[in-house]
Structure 1
Amino acid sequence: MAMFLAYIPPDYGLHRMTIQGKVAELRAELNSGSKKDKNFTQKKIALKKIVANMTMSNNEMVSLFPDVISCMQIQSLEIKKIALALRTMSYVHVKEFVEATVPLVKRLLRDADPYVRKTAAYCVAKLLNQLLRDDNPTVVASALASLMDIWERSETIKLTLDYSNASKMVAILPDCSEWGQTYILEALMSYVPQESGEATLLAERIAPRLSHSNSAVVLTCIRVMLYLMNYIADEKQISALCRKLSPPLVTLLAKGSEVQYLALRNALLILQRRPDVLRNDIRVFFCKYNDPIYVKVTKLELIFMLANEKNIDEVLTELREYATEVDVHFVRKAVRAIGKLAIKIEPAARRCINLLLELVSTKVPYIVQEATVVIRNIFRKYPNQYESIIGVLCEHLDSLDEPEAKAAMVWVIGQYADRIENSDALLEDFLYSFAEEPVEVQLALLTATVKLFIQRPTKGQDLVPRVLKWATEETDNPDLRDRAYMYWRLLSTDVNLAKQIVMGEKPPITAESEKLDPQTLEEMCLNVGTLATIYLKPVQTVFQAHLAHVPESSHL
């Protein structure tokens, strides 16, 4: 029979006996109870030796773990701080260690010293980390949920995943419960792809979750895919993934009003970040008669975002219906959307204006007022193009009783004072109530009167001194007073210079003011499906504002 002999160094037995002797010596030092050693110097030295040995990968020190535990009962801050040894020992995957650690850590988490509590928290995270290799998907998902909770509440602990672990988590997704899938998907946000191929493969593998019946799974999956797209270099692959995001968002619109609203708010964000999503799905956002007002208003925002030259006729037909509904708030929003579309889509401006004039002819006061506001903006966008409709607006001056609408009409009269035959008389009618008007209207009247004088000096020479006197001597508002003084000095110094300033070119006006700044948009896309996307504000802002109103006793 062949025999295989293992090579044993000559001094192996001696080495083994030396280690065992060292362990026995350290155990004796840890358990010594000399009354003369009141500062526990011997125990401190022994603990430091154990830490040093563990650092040198001397695994024999594991057998001393129960003795270390007994030392933790000693009321000495220095000895407690040597609980740092737990961090080192927690790397050793030994069943006995885990069983001995759990009760200790539970006690250390309530220790009076914050350093001990912090170190115990690290240990908990490492114990949970071992469960990530469990064979049961539910256990893995629960461990992830706990780790993420610790990570979110700690400033020093960070959850990180490599591709191997991320891939394993994706593999068990189909075997997890719906909430387990949510935990795993959220954890994937801690994975940073090192190359485009990794991000693409993971995105493709989690894409089937988009068809899940649970809304939380769908929205979390969308969030992860948007995150992974940031690491994908191929634009064709990004476009393909974007097309996959459209059907699940549309499906969510068939659910209850609350889920619909959440999906709509997130769609607003996604469209700003990835315009390819939902590009051809504008009809799914058309309002239903029984939609709650908050759903209707959000759908209206999406219709505006998706409107283009190809579908503008269909959109205007829909908006005409909205402008005749009974809900005043929604009607105002619809009328304003028509005006904004005239600014957004220049080839459709005339069609939008014709619809606005059609709505103004109904003589419904709130429709007239909203139309006046948006037509003012249209004049600013397209100077010297649509002034022929000013006469129609002037026929409905009696309908204007809201500050924004009044200010808009006054702006039109002042800007086109040389084209409106009775512009001086119209302004004088508004000036009768100058003292009672809000500052917004007073500022508009002041500027319009100066414009009248500059364009038609003989018509405005009586009005200007009167308005400037009111604005400088009979008002307490510093903005109004300062502007009046500025105009007075300009007119007194050089009328031509005043004309260049007051009648100068206006800043360009756009209909895209609702867009978020890039940094906030990026943060919002990383929080798809959360409360922050409802408010369209950063997470810290939302939850700080929320907690500020919660009594301290109710904090968890």
Structure 2
Amino acid sequence: MPYLGSEDVVKELKKALCNPHIQADRLRYRNVIQRVIRMSKLDQWGQAEVLNFLLRYQPRSEEELFDILNLLDSFLKSSSPGVVMGATKLFLILAKQFPHVQTDVLVRVKGPLLAACSSESRELCFAALCHVRQILRSLPGHFSSHYKKFFCSYSEPHYIKLQKVEVLCELVNDENVQQVLEELRGYCTDVSADLAQAAIFAIGGIARTYTDQCVQILTELLGLRQEHITTVVVQTFRDLVWLCPQCTEAVCQALPGCEEIIQDGEGKQALIWLLGVHGERIPNAPYVFEDFVDNVKSETFPAVKMELLTALLRLFLSRPAECQDMLGRLLHYSIEEEKDMAVRDRGLFYYRLLLAGVEEVKRILCSPKSDPSLRLLEDQAEKPVNSWASDFNTLVPVYGKARWATICACQGTERRGPDLSNTASFATSGPLIPEENKERAQELPDSGALTLVPNHQLTAEYFEKTWLSLKVAHQQVVPWQGAVHPDTLQMALQSCCWSPRAWKCRSL
């Protein structure tokens, strides 16, 4: 093996580590590993590549494991983020049987990660934030003492700001809740509607623990009377009263006047749901519904109409005198004039339900108005580090496992490229016959399966010429179905390769 400081050290190292003779000799293999770890003349790219090679090594004993970790310790102090992340991944994987060692490593890598989150490189910053969120799934509050590092800067792009908002939401504790909420409150009026929406939803998430402070901030945001802010706040209130019933009274007091501002379909749905479920606490609820019913013909969102039907029927059960007339008008419109079949069916169902009696309506519609137990279901359990250690220092935290697997599969296909060696025939591998015709397929000659070639340009003239030149591989008789109108027959003949008595499958 050549001197480890030479230019070709990475290539030679890969050959050595992949050599089966060296792998079979554990002592020799270990010596190679130790010599590699002690090298100092490689640049940061070589060091990162070497650390990636070392992932395939499996220590034979605990003593050997800790010897290697001690030798790797200096890589955690590197000035290169790539080397630090590569060393961290190697530590996490080698120490998979020692959770306390993994935790210590993540504590040590906290500084380099925070530095990367403040990097001028937007790509590096975004990837580091995704890794921070991944660590927080196993170590909640791991970065809580450094929460100010995740405050947004004015010049940062919105996708980095959105990631920082998500991180801030996970770092809240008794010591920093006031500062974090004030920071998020500032984002709620940002020129970016996406950032404002994310900040409001983040405050709603924090409200499950610090309800009073968050509800006060959300109520004050309604005073701005801006459509996109009011819409998101009302949606947040809808989720909040379901999970935290103790804030219902404050939310009901804040709702009057919102109907004049909201134009978005999702915002209308949230407001209508609140008015229907908690309408007995909101004095002007029937009058708001009356405006919705009067303008139902001009409503463009079918989901809003369906929510209006349910909410008005619920309010009718608690305030019948004020809702009877408008409920009748809404049901008449839904059944007789509405063109959307889902809305019509909903109205018809409620009409028949009312015919069955009020008690039957109450039995079906009067469900619980809140369910605090869902908070326990929504709280994600802490994931062990080993569940994501192999994904550390990759793009999986950025894209997610499923999407990254799809990207890798597509890239593999692009590298191989389509096989166009025989452009006259796209049939290369096995019969294209339905499962139910397998027995009959044994009697047929092997014509090859159909293989689709992506991005292949095929003119109509070439296709027609090729199709007509193919021989008939199979002819199947179809029973005659009786008299057919000539126009129908002509249309069928133009759209497919059927004939009145048989169809022919040409061999590709």
Select 2:4's aligned residue among 136, 139, 142.
136
Q: Is 1:183–2:52 an aligned residue pair?
A: no
The aligned amino acid for 1:529 is N
Q: Give the superposition deviation at 1:452.
A: 1.0
State the Cα distance separating 1:298 from its structure 2 match: 0.7
Structure 2 alignment gaps of length 5 or more: 420-453, 455-508
Q: Distance in 1 between matches of 2:186 and 2:25?
A: 52
**In the alignment, is the contact (CA less than 8 A) between 1:410 and 1:444 conserved in 2?**
yes
- How far the C-alpha of 1:177 sits from its partner, in A, is 2.3
Residue among 139, 142, 158 paired with 1:274: 139
Q: Distance in 2 between matches of 1:488 and 1:194?
A: 74
SS of 2:145's partner is: coil
Distance, in Å, in 2 between the alignment partners of 1:300 and 1:446 is: 37
Letter in 2 for 1:338: I
Specify the alignment match of 1:291 in structure 2: 156
2:126 is aligned, of 261, 272, 278, to 261
Question: Is residue 418 from structure 1 mapped to residue 262 from structure 2 by the alignment?
Answer: no
Distance in 2, matches of 1:424 and 1:417, equals 8
CA distance in structure 1 between the partners assigned to 2:226 and 2:188 by the alignment: 11
Higher mean C-alpha displacement, 271-280 vs 353-362: 271-280
The structure-2 alpha-carbon separation of the partners of 1:551 and 1:462, relative to structure 1 and needing over 3 Å to count, comes to farther
Please tell me whether residue 244 in structure 1 is matched to residue 244 in structure 2: no
Mapped contact 2:200–2:232 kept (Cα < 8 A):
yes
Is 2:318 the counterpart of 1:462? no
Match of 1:206 among 72, 76, 83: 72
Matched, 1:164 2:26: no
1:375 matched residue in structure 2: 237
Residue pair 2:118, 2:149 contacting (<8 A) in 1 also? no
Please point out which of 180, 183, 192 is paired with 1:315: 180
Q: Secondary structure at the match of 2:281?
A: coil
Higher relative contact order (CA 8 A, sep 6+): 2
Query: Structure 2 CA distance, aligned partners of 1:202 and 1:527?
Result: 21
Secondary structure of the structure 1 residue equivalent to 2:255: helix
Q: For the residues of structure 2 that align with 1:501 and 1:550, how far apart are their CA atoms?
A: 58
User: Paired residue for 2:83, among 217, 228, 238?
Assistant: 217
Superposition deviation, residue 447 in structure 1: 1.6
Relative distance call for 1:169 and 1:438 in structure 2 (3 A) is: farther
CA distance in 2, matches of 1:406, 1:297: 25
Tell which structure's C-alpha radius of gyration is larger: 1
CA RMSD of aligned residues (A): 3.6
Q: Residue 288 of structure 1 aligns to a residue in which SS?
A: coil
Q: CA deviation at 1:350?
A: 0.5
Pair 1:402 & 2:297 matched: no
Question: Contact 1:379–1:387 (CA<8 Å) still a contact in 2?
Answer: no
Q: Residues 365 and 399 of structure 1 are in contact (CA less than 8 Å); yes or no, is this contact kept in structure 2?
A: yes
Q: Deviations over 1:176-233 (max 9, x none)?
A: 3212211222223323456666555544543432332323222222322333343215
Q: Which shows bigger deviation, 465-474 or 300-309?
A: 465-474
Aligned to 1:85: none
Once the two structures are TM-superposed, the CA of residue 509 in structure 1 deviates from its matched residue by: 4.5
Q: Which residue of 1 aligns with 2:219?
A: 357
CA contact (8 A) 2:81 2:112 kept: no
What is the Cα deviation at residue 168 of structure 1?
2.2
What is the distance in 1 between the residues matched to 2:108 and 2:178? 28
How far does residue 468 in structure 1 lie from its aligned partner after superposition? 3.8
Q: CA deviation digits over 1:61-82, x for unaligned, max 9?
A: xxxxxxxxxxxxxxxxxxxxxx
**1:7 alignment partner in structure 2:** none
* Aligned residue runs from structure 1 range 27-46, under 5 A: none
8 A contact 2:144–2:172 mirrored in 1:
no
Aligned to 2:252: 390
Residue 391 of structure 2: aligned partner: 527
How far residue 488 of structure 1 moved from its aligned partner, in angstroms, is 4.0
Q: 1:313 Cα shift?
A: 0.7
Matched, 1:335 2:200: yes
* CA shift digits 1:111-144 (9 cap, x unpaired): xxxxxxxxxxxxxxxxxxxxxx554255452245
**Given the alignment, which residue of 302, 318, 329 partners 2:167?**
302
Under a length normalisation based on structure 1, what TM-score does the superposition of the two structures give? 0.64
Relative to structure 1, is the Cα distance of residues 486 and 375 closer, same or farther in structure 2, using a 3 angstrom cutoff?
A: same
Which letter does structure 1 place at the counterpart of 2:113? L
Q: Distance in 2 between matches of 1:331 and 1:220?
A: 36
Residue 250 of structure 1 aligns to which amino acid in structure 2? L
User: Would the alpha carbon gap of residues 466 and 140 (structure 1) be closer, same or farther in structure 2, given more than 3 Å must change?
Assistant: farther
The answer to whether the Cα contact below 8 Å between 1:286 and 1:299 also exists between their aligned partners in 2 is: yes
Confirm or deny: 8 A CA contact 1:360 1:371 kept in the other structure.
Answer: yes
1:358 deviation in Å? 1.6
Whole-Å separation in 1 of the counterparts to 2:379 and 2:158: 19
Residue-by-residue CA offset, 1:396-425 (whole Å, 9 max, x unaligned) = 321101111111111110011212223222
Q: Does the CA-based 8 Å contact 2:33-2:54 persist in structure 1? A: no
Cα separation, 1, equivalents of 2:253 and 2:326: 23
Answer whether contact 1:145 1:183 (CA < 8 A) is retained: no
The AA in structure 2 aligned to 1:274 is: L
Per the alignment, residue 47 of structure 1 pairs with none
8 Å CA contact 2:92, 2:102 repeated in 1:
no
Distance 1:144 1:511, change over 3 A: farther
Kindly tell me the number of residue pairs found equivalent between the two proteins.
Answer: 409
Letter in 2 for 1:239: T
Task: Return the alpha-carbon distance in structure 1 between the equivalents of residues 346 and 57 of structure 2.
Answer: 56
Does the 8 Å contact 2:286/2:322 carry over to 1? yes
Q: Are the counterparts in 2 of residues 341 and 511 from structure 1 also a CA contact under 8 Å? A: no
8 Å contact kept, 2:34–2:68:
no
CA distance 1:429–1:275, change in 2 (3 Å): same
| Inter-CA distance 303–160: structure 2 relative to 1 (3 Å threshold) | farther
Greater Cα offset, 247-256 or 488-497: 488-497
Cα distance in 1 for residues equivalent to 2:294 and 2:412: 49
- Residues 143/419 of structure 1: CA separation in 2 closer, same or farther (3 Å cut): same
User: 1:266: how far off?
Assistant: 1.4
Offset at residue 241 of structure 1 (A): 2.2
Task: Give how far 1:249 is off.
Answer: 0.3
Q: Deviations over 1:419-440 (max 9, x none)?
A: 2223222112123343433233
Greater helix share, 1 or 2? 1
Letter in 2 for 1:142: K
Distance in 1, matches of 2:266 and 2:376, equals 18
CA separation in 2, counterparts of 1:170 and 1:328?
51
CA distance in 1, matches of 2:380, 2:328: 43
1:325 aligns with 2:190: yes
Question: Does structure 2 retain, via aligned residues, the 8 Å contact 1:196–1:231?
Answer: no
Query: Any gaps of 5 or more consecutive residues in structure 1?
Result: 1-132, 152-158
Q: Which residue of 2 aligns with 1:102?
A: none
Pair 1:251–1:170, CA change in 2 (3 A)? farther
> What is the CA distance between 1:286 and its match in structure 2?
0.9
State whether residues 137 and 172 of structure 1, in contact with CA within 8 Å, keep that contact through their aligned partners in structure 2. Answer: no
